[in-house]
C-alpha cells in the first residue's frame, strides 16, 4: 500500500474543493472496494483519499412515478436491490446490483462506484445504459448531467475531469407495457467477473416492439448500446426470427479480446445468446 493522506468531506462542495486542491493524485473514497485495491497494488498513483461516505446526498435513494428513480452515487448496493420500488420497476438494476461481489462487498460498493471504475465488464453498466440513465456530476464549474451511455470512454476511463465527483444516478420511470432483463455468463456461480453480460429494455404494443435498447458488456472497451439489435426489433412483431436477428446484431457488434476468462469466439457467441435470453425475459415482463 502506498503512503497517502485522508480527508473526510461533509458536503459535495467540500469534496470538490478537496479533490481540486489534491490534484490528479486525489481520489474519491466511497465504498473503496475498487480504489483501495488499485492503491494497494500500485496500479494508480494516489496521494489523497477524499471520503464522501458521510454526505447525505450521495447516500440517498428516492422513487416517484412521475420523476423516476434517483440513487446517490455512494448508496450501498444492498439498499438498491433491497428496495421494493427498484425491484418492481427497475428489475434489471436490482438483478445486476445483486451479483456484484458478495454480501460484505454489497454493504459498501455502489452503482456510482461501479460506473466510476469504468470496467468494460462492470455488471451494472449495461442495465444503467439500457434504462436510459443519466448521471449528475459536480465539479469546480458547477453541476452537469451526462447520459450514462456517454460516460465511459475506455477501460478504466471516463468523462470525469479533475475535481469532479459523481453525485447521483437517475433513471426515468419505465414506459407502460415495457419490460427489462439483465443476465451475465461467468465461469463460477458467484463473485466472478463476467465473461459477457447483457441487458434489454423493450416496449410492446400488442406483439409489436415500439421501442428497444439492447446493451452488451465485457465484449469491447466499453459497454455497447447495440443500435442494430434494437433496429431488428422496433416496428416489427416479436418473433423468434426477429429475436435471432437482434442476437446476430449483438454478435456482429461485439469486439472482444482473448483472455483467461474467455475467448473471442466464446464472447461473440455469448453476445448473441444473452441478447436473445434477455429479450425473451423482458418481453415476458412487458406482457405482465
Name the least confident of 16-25, 28-37, 252-261: 28-37
Whether residue 56 has pLDDT greater than 80: yes
What local confidence, expressed as pLDDT, does residue 95 receive? 97
CATH (one of 2.40.110.10, 3.30.43.10, 2.160.10.10, 3.30.1490.20) for 5-51: 3.30.43.10
What local confidence, expressed as pLDDT, does residue 118 receive? 95
The three-point CA angle 217-92-245 to 5° equals 55
Among candidate residues 82, 85, 59, 83, the one with its CA nearest the CA of residue 72? 59
Whether residue 42 has pLDDT greater than 80: no
Whether the CB-CB separation of 245 and 232 falls below 8 Å is answered with yes
What local confidence, expressed as pLDDT, does residue 35 receive? 77
Taking the C-alpha atoms of residue 143 and residue 139, their distance in angstroms, rounded to an integer, is 6
pLDDT in tens, 154-201: 999 999 999 999 999 999 999 999 999 999 999 876 557 899 999 999
Which range, 42-56, 99-113, 227-241, has the best average confidence (pLDDT)? 227-241
What local confidence, expressed as pLDDT, does residue 190 receive? 55
For 56-171, give the CATH class: alpha beta
Alpha helices, DSSP H only, in 99-195? 103-106, 111-117, 125-130
pLDDT in tens, 99-144: 998 888 899 899 999 999 999 999 999 999 999 999 999 999 999 9
Whether residue 249 has pLDDT greater than 60: yes
What local confidence, expressed as pLDDT, does residue 46 receive? 83
1 pLDDT band, cuts 50/70/90, is low
- Listed by start position, the domains of the chain span 5-51, 56-171, 178-286
What local confidence, expressed as pLDDT, does residue 41 receive? 64
Among candidate residues 198, 264, 261, the one with its CA nearest the CA of residue 229? 198
- Report CA torsion sign: 69, 89, 216, 95: positive
Whether the CB-CB separation of 201 and 54 falls below 8 Å is answered with no
Taking the C-alpha atoms of residue 270 and residue 72, their distance in angstroms, rounded to an integer, is 32
Taking the C-alpha atoms of residue 288 and residue 181, their distance in angstroms, rounded to an integer, is 13
What local confidence, expressed as pLDDT, does residue 87 receive? 98
pTM: 0.94
What local confidence, expressed as pLDDT, does residue 189 receive? 61
CATH architecture of 178-286: 2-Layer Sandwich (3.30)
Whether the CB-CB separation of 192 and 219 falls below 8 Å is answered with no
Per the structure block, which three cell numbers stand in for 162?
479533475
Amino acid at each position: 500500500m502506498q503512503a497517502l493522506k485522508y480527508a473526510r468531506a461533509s458536503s459535495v462542495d467540500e469534496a470538490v474543493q478537496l479533490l481540486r486542491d489534491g490534484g490528479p493524485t486525489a481520489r474519491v473514497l466511497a465504498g473503496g472496494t475498487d480504489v483501495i485495491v488499485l492503491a494497494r497494488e500500485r496500479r494508480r498513483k494516489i496521494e489523497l483519499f477524499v471520503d464522501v461516505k458521510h454526505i447525505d446526498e450521495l447516500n440517498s435513494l428516492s422513487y416517484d412515478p412521475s420523476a423516476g428513480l434517483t440513487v446517490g452515487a455512494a448508496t450501498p448496493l444492498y439498499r438498491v436491490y433491497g428496495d421494493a420500488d427498484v425491484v418492481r420497476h427497475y428489475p434489471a438494476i436490482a438483478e445486476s446490483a445483486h451479483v456484484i461481489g458478495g454480501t460484505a462487498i454489497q454493504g459498501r460498493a455502489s452503482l456510482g462506484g461501479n460506473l466510476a471504475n469504468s470496467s468494460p465488464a462492470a455488471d451494472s453498466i449495461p442495465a444503467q445504459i439500457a434504462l436510459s440513465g443519466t448521471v449528475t456530476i459536480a465539479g469546480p464549474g458547477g453541476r452537469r448531467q451526462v447520459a450514462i451511455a456517454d460516460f465511459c470512454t475506455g477501460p478504466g476511463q471516463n468523462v470525469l475531469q479533475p475535481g469532479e465527483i459523481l453525485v447521483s444516478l437517475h433513471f426515468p420511470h419505465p414506459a407502460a407495457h415495457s419490460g427489462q432483463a439483465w443476465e451475465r455468463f461467468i465461469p463460477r456461480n458467484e463473485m466472478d467477473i463476467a465473461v459477457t453480460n447483457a441487458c434489454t429494455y423493450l416496449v410492446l404494443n400488442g406483439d409489436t416492439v415500439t421501442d428497444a435498447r439492447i446493451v452488451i458488456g465485457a465484449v469491447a472497451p466499453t459497454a455497447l448500446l447495440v443500435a442494430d439489435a434494437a433496429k431488428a426489433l422496433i416496428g416489427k412483431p416479436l418473433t423468434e426470427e426477429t429475436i435471432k436477428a437482434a442476437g446476430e446484431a449483438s454478435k456482429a457488434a461485439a469486439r472482444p479480446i482473448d483472455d483467461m476468462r474467455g475467448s473471442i469466439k466464446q464472447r461473440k457467441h455469448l453476445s448473441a445468446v444473452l441478447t436473445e435470453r434477455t429479450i425473451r425475459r423482458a418481453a415476458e415482463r412487458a406482457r405482465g
